[in-house]
A and B are shown apart, each in its own frame.
Chain A
Amino acid sequence: MIHHDEIIQIVRTIWTSILNLPIEALPEDSPFEAVSGRSFTACVQMTGDFEGATLLYCSSRLALQLTSIMFQEEPEDLSIEDLQDALGELTNMIAGNIKPLLPGQSRLSLPSVVDGSQYQINVPGSRQLQRLQFSCLGEILGITLQIRLTS
């Protein structure tokens, strides 16, 4: 349906164009690395011929650095809303560029973002279609594509 490498290319293009920042994909068989401490997860849902969601997660340290680049402001001047906004927009761009590679016509939701130190995100009735991990500024950034299970 959609290949691992296609998502890597989408993420690299966004990081280069918008952030002017290198990002390295970890090998496909890398063990899952959980983000320790406070983290952020952004989600954009897809509805239509493809039902699912794109999720992005990273540590609060990386979220702060990415947001600082997007806003061109010092980290200490940024609010939690700024971090949520920046991660939501990055996820929106990733989902928007994945969408044409999926079958049929789908629409994107507005992004939603959660943050905290001990939480679990579930998209009920779905399974993981792709899971990718990247290294950016010495931190792990994860992206998953979920697909709704048909009954």
Chain B
Amino acid sequence: MRALIIDDSRAMRSILSRLMTGLGFEVVTASNGLEGMERLQEDDGIGLALVDWNLPEMNGLEFVQSVRSDPSFETIRLIMVTTETEKERVVAALDAGVDEYVMKPFTEAILAEKLSFLGLLPKVNRG
């Protein structure tokens, strides 16, 4: 599966790309929500998007609302990866249609667990 990573920080895109590649995903990236929408429209192999909240041009929440309002993106899984850690923000993101919410900072294990929960990875052994 191809994963779209949307973050305005190149450092964070680099970290997420490494982790996702290590977990077996192909990766494409975008630096804001608008660019993310363009990637989705031009690449129908994308099955998952990891999106930051605070982005220029189109923020992460607007990206989620835009994806969820388009039936052609119905099957795409969305994970918000953000420093917005307040409960109200998590609720707003879930209401808008994200499937999972990952708070920065995260570890590979946390990311793998969320992907596993969505059925995108083999079950993570919590040991």
Chain A residues near B119 (CB-CB < 8 A): none
The interface of chain B, by Cβ under 8 A from chain A, is 8-12, 14-15, 18, 54, 56, 82-86, 88, 104-107
Q: Which of B14, B86, B106, B107 contacts A99 (CB 8 A)?
A: B86
**Given that A13-B105, A71-B14, A92-B83 are known contacts, is A108 also in contact with B9, CB under 8 Å in the complex?**
no
Q: List 13 A-B contacts (CB under 8 A).
A: A18-B15, A18-B104, A70-B14, A72-B14, A85-B10, A85-B11, A86-B9, A89-B9, A93-B83, A96-B83, A100-B85, A108-B54, A110-B8
Chain A residues near B84 (CB-CB < 8 A): 96
Majority SS of interface residues in chain B?
loop
**Given that A14-B105, A110-B56 are known contacts, is A99 also in contact with B11, CB under 8 Å in the complex?**
no
Q: Which of B14, B56, B105, B107 contacts A93 (CB 8 A)?
A: B105
Question: When the two chains form their complex, are residues B105 and A100 in contact, meaning their CB atoms are under 8 A apart?
Answer: no
Chain B residues near A110 (CB-CB < 8 A): 8, 54, 56
Question: When the two chains form their complex, are residues B11 and A70 in contact, meaning their CB atoms are under 8 A apart?
Answer: yes
The interface of chain A, by Cβ under 8 A from chain B, is 13-14, 17-18, 67, 70-72, 81-82, 85-86, 88-89, 92-93, 95-97, 99-100, 105, 108, 110
Q: How far is the CA of A88 from the CA of B8 in the complex (A)?
A: 11
- How many A-B residue pairs lie within 8 Å, measured between CB atoms? 57
Interface centre among B15, B56, B106 (most CB of A within 10 A): B15
Q: Given A67-B11, A71-B10, 13 more contacts at CB 8 Å?
A: A18-B105, A85-B9, A86-B9, A89-B9, A92-B83, A93-B105, A95-B83, A96-B83, A96-B84, A96-B85, A96-B104, A99-B85, A99-B86
**Given that A71-B11, A71-B14, A82-B11 are known contacts, is A93 also in contact with B85, CB under 8 Å in the complex?**
no
Chain B residues near A13 (CB-CB < 8 A): 105
**Given that A72-B14, A88-B9 are known contacts, is A17 also in contact with B107, CB under 8 Å in the complex?**
yes
CB distance from A44 to the nearest CB of B (A): 9
Q: How far is the CA of A81 from the CA of B54 in the complex (A)?
A: 19
